[in-house]
Amino acid sequence: MRFIKMHGIGNDYIYVNCFEETVENPAGLARIVSDRHKGIGADGLILIIPSKSADAKMRMFNADGSESEMCGNGLRCLAKYVFEHKLAKATRGAFSIPGEPPCPASLKIETGKGILTVGLIIDDNNKVEKVCVNMGQPILTPKDIPVKLDGRKVIEQPIEILGRQLLMTCVSMGNPHAVFFCEDVKSIELEKLGPAIENNSLFPNRTNVHFVQVDNPMELTIRTWERGSGITMACGSGACACCVAAVLTRRAKRVCTAHLPGGDLDLSWCEEDNCVYMTGPAEEVFEGVWPEH
């Protein structure tokens, strides 16, 4: 099985082109290839699949084999692969952030959240330099996130975790996120708090966990514990959720930059269409062949 390893600001995945390859047991394969000691090493596995309603379809599996609905960094890398390997023909000039110039090209990708449009920023060598994703409208209703709490939204909800009192804001970007604001993200014991929150009984589908330091109204510093993968260098959908949470709690503006351990993402929660836009790089690491077992 041929594969390619790619990353979006350090959030790395193994990609399989299922236009050409067949994966019988993706959950099992994800666990094997993601192992950083006995496998290739990654935060998970992403399959690039033909779609009847879009240019390609993404299926994403975490390092523990569980399937996730959405992965923002993974989606950017998938779009780069689809364009550069000519799996689909991009539409020219059909995508832009409201109020911004249009991207040179765009693709439509089918995900667990539905069909999302991605804009491609292309260099002089016809390579994808950056990808801008319309991540859609944030989901704030508790039952749809899902989180077992009452009310129309979960904003600064008190929660006790490992004897600590925390204030939690919940957002779904197609996958669930629990956001906590703090003074200094480096001081957070993420390896302890992350799994305790991820597996809390409030979350029937578990949750991604983010601690956010507000540097100023246009800059956020984020550390992430990803559902099914643990501490990661970045989480694209999580950064979008943190932007929404920061706006909801009046800590930040709708346009901001997220600083993550692996790099930066530009975010915009637009008032015109209520959609969150995320722009960032996508990089190839290497190609290889995974032997049959």
Indicate if 71 belongs to the active site. Answer: yes
Specify whether the CB–CB gap between 99 and 268 falls below 8 A. Answer: no
Indicate if 235 belongs to the active site. Answer: yes
- Tell me the per-residue pLDDT of 110-137, one tens digit each, with 9 for 90 and over: 999 899 999 999 999 999 999 999 999 9
- Tell me the per-residue pLDDT of 27-45, one tens digit each, with 9 for 90 and over: 999 999 999 999 999 999 9
Which is the catalytic residue, given 71, 132, 256, 275? 71
Which is the catalytic residue, given 170, 235, 243, 275? 235
Q: Does the model's pTM come out above 0.75?
A: yes
Q: Which two tokens stand for residue 116?
A: 């999302």
Percent above pLDDT 90 for the chain: 94
pLDDT at 121: 92
- Tell me the per-residue pLDDT of 188-227, one tens digit each, with 9 for 90 and over: 999 999 999 999 999 999 999 999 999 999 999 999 999 9
